[in-house]
Amino acid sequence: MDTNSRSAAIAALRANDREIVLLSHSAALLSWDQETCMPRKAIDERSAQLSLLQGLIHERTVARRNGRLLEELGCSDENPRGDGGLPTDDRAFLRQYQRRYRRATRLPRDLVVKLAEKTSRSQAVWAEARAADDFRAFAPHLGELVELLLEVSDRIGYPQHPYDALLDEYEPFMLTSHVDRVFSELRADLVPLVEAIGRAPHVDNSMLRREFPVQQQAAFGTAVMQALGYELDRGRLDVSAHPFTTTLGADDVRITTRYSPRFFNSAVFGIIHEVGHALYELNIAEKYRGSLLAEGTSLGIHESQSRMWENMVGRSREFWHHFYPKLTARFPDSLGDVDLETFYRAINAVRPSLIRVEADEVSYGLHIILRFELEKALVSRSIKVADLPEVWRATSRELLGVEPQTDAEGVLQDIHWSMGAIGYFPTYALGNLYAAQFMRTIEADLPSLWSDVRDGEFGPLLGWLRGHIHSHGRTRTAAELCNDITGTDLSAAPFVAYLQTKYGDIYGVR
């Protein structure tokens, strides 16, 4: 294939991709509206609108011409980047395009439709089963979903384990064996650390459940997100039942949060978390705009950004040295009698809990390991769906030292399985690991990092993240980014060391 023909083929794929991106952003806008301000009775037509857009996206993704062009450019499962003589950015584009095309074309329409219908019904059944604390009502639906996902895995194909194909949906190019390795390291150190903290005197965090008027929380949260670099002429903050970030365009990345008038942590730390996601999307290099490269490279890397800002920066002493006077000025009645050190310890209190979304920074990873082990066992058929409640209770007792008394606070607490999102959970914990490993390099590159944070200067950190992570979009895989930035493969050791130092100081344990 000569140079002109290759250029024409890539141009055709980029034009096709541009349409897919525009349709995807249109669907995201409708979904954002549904979650934030859509009238309740509009749901039926909204579902039809979204279904139509998803159908158009699928048609453009699996068009046979795309496959012919990829083949002509030398792309295959073994060589997704195509001809070695192509420019670097073209090869990065082809790798992601080939992956998307391969996954989409290997799933027949009837399987995709059946899975969509099943997840829609399962979510409704799950909501009722959770409210009634009745796992038996949900179990048959989960069993059918697992069988459908196993068919998905078989059709897509996997290198080692059937879980690989499901994990790849959320953490592209990572294998189950890699997650096993780092989670084994993490588990070995987290369990004894949680136990040691559990034996230490409790940290009082009761002041966080005083009265915090929502209007004042919103004003403070807005000031924080702008200080971190989130631009309100390129995004907006709204309220939703579950906080999220959504990309509607290169200059339109929106975030949401939720407010509790009697719990400080929920809104403010939720805003900081979502700002971390948004800054990633807003700072991808302009040359990748409008293409599939203009996204975060994986959910694990995305979580590294949100958790770095939320926990490593947002829950640091230095951060609150700058912001605490501003916070107490807004909430003098609730925090006027609380000094900075007491507040810092309170927002970092560790108490193993049953509910993942309420978990502290230390025990959170164990919640994810629990779910990962059960998902892997389901997919490999080493446990049955009916056995999940008891296995959940036993594993929770082993990892966290707490045991749910009901299925609603145990196996039924998360919506993910009813959505068919098996393979998603590991990305939450992987984000913590990537963040800590990146932070070691950041601290070496930016010796004044923490004095800058103490002074409320976040530009140097954002600039580093933009240059080393954000700007690359999806041109590099998570593993490539990790190695390029830190010189090593992903490891649990930096995150464990970070926790041991921070919480050893707070709780006097080692």
Active site residues: 274
For residue 245, give the DSSP letter. E
Long-range contacts of 111-117 (CB under 8 A, 24+ apart): 111/148, 111/151, 111/152, 111/155, 112/58, 114/148, 115/145, 115/148, 115/149, 115/152, 115/420
Cite the DSSP H helix spans in 37-81.
43-62, 64-72
Of 379, 374, 372, 377, the closest CA to residue 165 belongs to 379
Long-range contacts of 325-333 (CB under 8 A, 24+ apart): 326/220, 326/223, 327/220, 330/216, 330/219, 330/220, 331/212, 331/213, 331/216, 333/210, 333/211
Distance from C-alpha of 296 to C-alpha of 328, rounded to nearest angstrom: 36
Distance from C-alpha of 10 to C-alpha of 7, rounded to nearest angstrom: 5
What's the sign of the alpha-carbon dihedral 225, 231, 232, 236?
negative
Using the CB atoms, write b or e for 341-369: b if 16+ within 10 Å.
Answer: eebbbbbbbbbbbbebeebbbbbbbbbbb
Q: Do β-strands 237-239 and 245-249 pair in parallel, antiparallel, or remain unpaired? A: unpaired
Distance from C-alpha of 207 to C-alpha of 262, rounded to nearest angstrom: 10
Residue identified by tokens 């139509």 is 52
Number of H helices, E strands in the chain: 21, 3
Q: Which two tokens stand for residue 120?
A: 């829609």
Q: Is the CB of residue 389 less than 8 Å from the CB of residue 406?
A: no
Containing 479, the helix (H) or strand (E) segment is: helix 478-486
